[in-house]
Amino acid sequence: MKMLTLIAFVPPHDNKEFMRKLWSITSYLKNEVGIKVNLVVLGTNEEPRIIAMDEVISLYRDIEEIVMRITSKLSYDVADKEFLSKVAAGITTKS
pLDDT digits (tens, 9 = 90+) for 52-61: 888 899 999 9
Share of the chain above pLDDT 90, in %: 48
On whether the CB atoms of residues 25 and 67 are closer than 8 A, the answer is yes
Give the bridge partners for 43, in sequence order.
10
CATH of 2-94, one of 2.30.110, 3.40.30, 2.60.120, 1.20.1070: 3.40.30
Domain ranges of the chain: 2-94
Confidence of residue 20 (pLDDT cuts 50, 70, 90): very high
Taking the CA atoms of residue 91, residue 62, residue 2 and residue 56 in that order, the dihedral angle to the nearest 10 degrees is 160
Q: What is the pLDDT of residues 27-55, one digit of tens each?
A: 999 998 888 999 999 999 999 999 988 88
Write the DSSP symbol of residue 78.
-
Exposed e or buried b per residue across 58-85, where buried means at least 16 C-beta atoms within 10 angstroms of its C-beta = ebeeebeebbbbbbbebeeebeeeebee
Q: With 90 as the cut, is the pLDDT of residue 76 above it?
A: no
- Residue 39 vs residues 27, 36, 81, 83, 85: alpha-carbon distances, Å: 11, 10, 27, 23, 25
pLDDT at 4 over 60: yes
Give this prediction's pTM.
Answer: 0.74
Whole-number pLDDT of residue 73: 74
Q: What is the pLDDT of residue 95?
A: 45
